[in-house]
Amino acid sequence: MLTVLDVLIKSTDYLDKKGIESPRMNAELLLADILKCKRLELYLMYDRPMTEKELIKYREYLKRRSTFEPTQYIIGTVEFYGLELKVSPAVLIPRPETEILVETVINSVCKEDELRIMDIGSGSGNISIAIAVNLINSFVTGIEISESAIAIAEENLKKYDLNKRVSFLNYDILSVNKNELSDFDIIVSNPPYVSMEDYGKVQKEILNYEPNIAVTDFHDGYKFYREIISLTTQLLKPNGKIFLEIAQGQSKKISEFMKGNNFKEISIVQDYQNIERVILGVKK
């Protein structure tokens, strides 16, 4: 009978031959979901025999992953900023890089302040929920064009009992009613920033499975930055702050957009690979 260790060795080799990055980690995450344990707990279960039912389900998982379907969609969850969130193909999978965006927002304010925050393009609700959990007096409004994404975000909201402080609205930010939304202290966004030219070069997992409207702006990669920065001059309070996740090489142009829209104190935060990841500024 195959043990947990036997299965991990075989599945890691299988995924590696299929061209999956980090095959061992993927094998462990998929198996942990089936055994309903944490990934690290597998190391204490190496001698545990696998049942036939477990093996059948695991083979199904591996087959799906071998076609580059993201592990997070297969198991239906992702960990983000210490939170376990539901995900589906309706939403972009939250990335570790976006944790830098959340952390920058949290570290920029007094945690006791009562703040009105807007999250533009809220997707699974990961940014809104992570901020609300850590800024206990904040009120967060997530703006999202996809009704399917909002449904996922609202499920995540219920899990963390934040319905009184977080809400998700079905808006196209490019045609938002500025009279309904105003006087925010903070606006945060991780907009689609892959240009149409580069979209065909992204990983197969992204190209074939993640929602394209959450990845590319179908333009030059700067479309949403222009629109969001222009819009926030009307939505933010004086001295309100904007925080944007950016891609490598985009900081110079986005900084120029911000300066041209009366933002001051513009600064850049790098991620753990020393890539410029977040840009922020203060409304004059």
**Residue 177: pLDDT over 70:** no
CATH 3.40.50.150 placement within the chain: 77-283
pLDDT at 178: 62
Categorize the per-residue pLDDT at 175 as very low, low, confident or very high, splitting at 50, 70 and 90: confident
Categorize the per-residue pLDDT at 11 as very low, low, confident or very high, splitting at 50, 70 and 90: very high
Encoded tokens for 24? 């061992």
**Residue 238: pLDDT over 80:** yes
Give the model confidence (pLDDT) of 87-111 as tens digits.
Answer: 999 999 999 999 999 999 999 999 9
Encoded tokens for 182? 């105003």
CA–CA separation, 116 and 125 (whole Å): 16
Burial 201-224 (b: 16+ CB within 10 A, else e): eeeebbeebbbeebbbbeeebbbb
User: Cα–Cα distances in Å, from 122 out to 3, 54, 136, 156?
Assistant: 41, 35, 19, 12
User: Cα–Cα distances in Å, from 26 out to 21, 131, 156, 195, 256?
Assistant: 8, 28, 23, 29, 40
> Running DSSP on this structure, what letter comes out for residue 176?
-
Encoded tokens for 84? 């376990």
CATH 1.10.8 placement within the chain: 4-67
User: Bridge-partner residues for 184, per DSSP?
Assistant: 236
Give the model confidence (pLDDT) of 185-201 as tens digits.
Answer: 999 999 999 999 999 99
**Residue 179: pLDDT over 70:** no
Q: How much is the average pLDDT of 205-218?
A: 97
Give the model confidence (pLDDT) of 146-168 as tens digits.
Answer: 999 999 999 999 999 999 999 99
Identify whether the C-beta of residue 234 lies closer than 8 Å to the C-beta of residue 177: no
- CATH code of the region 4-67: 1.10.8
Residue whose tokens read 């922020």: 280
Give the model confidence (pLDDT) of 30-78 as tens digits.
Answer: 999 999 999 999 999 999 999 999 999 999 999 999 999 999 999 999 9
Q: How much is the average pLDDT of 3-8?
A: 98
Cα separation of the two ends of the chain: 68
Which option is the CATH number for 77-283: 2.60.40.10, 3.90.1410.10, 3.40.50.150, 3.40.50.1820? 3.40.50.150
E strands of 121-226, at which residues? 139-144, 166-170, 184-189
Identify whether the C-beta of residue 58 lies closer than 8 Å to the C-beta of residue 77: no
Categorize the per-residue pLDDT at 208 as very low, low, confident or very high, splitting at 50, 70 and 90: very high
